[in-house]
Amino acid sequence: MEQKQRKFNIKEFFKNQGLYVALVLCLLVVGAAVLLIALPSEDEQQAEQPNGQVVVEAGQSEDETLNEAVNKNSQPPATLKPTQTPTPLPSVSPQVSPSPSPAPSTKTTTSTSKADPPVNGEIVWGFATDKLIYSKTLDQWMTHEGVDIAAELGTEVKAVLSGTVLQVYEDDALGYTVIVEHTSDRLTLYANLSDSIPVKVGDRVNAGTVIGTVGSSAISECAEVPHLHFAFYVGGSAKDPADYVKLG
C-alpha cells in the first residue's frame, strides 16, 4: 500500500511539476554548452601560460615566436646606457702662500749735493765741539766751531750758498767777519778777512759771490798760517762744515 502510495506521489509530482523540471534541465544543458565554449582549447593552454610567457613544444626551436622572445630578452632596453666609470678629478694640492717678503725699507738716503768750498786749500785746524784741541796762539786747549782752510793772503773768499748778508763786523777774536743767512735756518760765517769787504748787510748774494779776501785779522789765530776761518750753523748750532761743503 505504501509502495503504491509512493509511486502515486512521484507520478503526481512529475505530472504537476514536469514542466518546471524540463525547464531546469534545459537551462543546465545550455549552461554547460556555454561553459564548454568559453573554456580555452588545449592548444591555447599550451601556447600561453598564466604568467604571460610564451611556451613552445620541444622540437620547435625554429619557431619565430621563440626566436623573437629570445632576441627580445637578450637585447638590452633601448634606453639603457652603458655604465661610465667617472673620471677621477685631478687632485689639487693646497696652495701654500709664500712667506711674505719683508717690505722694502722706506728709509731713503737723501744725498744733498755739497756746495763748493769758499776757498781751496788744506784744513789746518779742524772742527771740534765735543773735544778740546790745542791752540798755539793762545797756548791752551779749546773748542773750535769751524774749520781753518789754509790760503794765501788776498785769496778771494766766495759764498758757498745763495742768501742774504746778515752781518758784517770786526770780531775781537776772529777779526773781520761776514755772516750770510740761507734758507732752512742755516748760516755761514767767514772770518779772518782783510778789512776790504765788498758786501754790506742786506745784500743778496749767490753761491760763488765774492764777499771778501783772506787776511790776518784774527788775533786768536795769528800764530797759524794764513787761512780762512769758516763755520756752518743750522738752527743756531755749529755743524761740521765738511758735511755740507766740499773741503780738502
pLDDT of amino acid 191: 95
- At 128 the pLDDT is 79
Among 39-43, 51-55, 199-203, the range scoring the smallest mean pLDDT is 51-55
- Mean pLDDT over each residue of the chain, to the nearest integer: 74
The Cα–Cα gap between 209 and 199 comes to: 10
pTM of this structure: 0.54
The predicted structure's pLDDT at residue 21: 66
Q: Which residues pair with 179 in a beta bridge?
A: 167, 189
Bridge partners for 177 per DSSP? 169, 191
% the chain with pLDDT above 90: 41
For cell 524540463, name the residue: 22
Rounded alpha-carbon distances, angstroms, from residue 138 to 120, 121, 230: 26, 24, 19
* Cβ atoms within 10 Å, residue 226: 17
Tell me what percent of the residues of the chain surpass a pLDDT of 70: 54
Say if residues 53 and 73 touch (Cβ distance below 8 Å). Answer: no
How confident is the model at residue 141, as a pLDDT? 65
Q: Is the pLDDT of residue 72 over 60?
A: no
For residue range 178-218, what is the model confidence (pLDDT) as tens digits?
Answer: 999 999 999 999 999 999 999 999 999 999 999 999 999 98
Report pLDDT digits (tens) over 99-123.
555 554 444 434 469 999 999 999 9
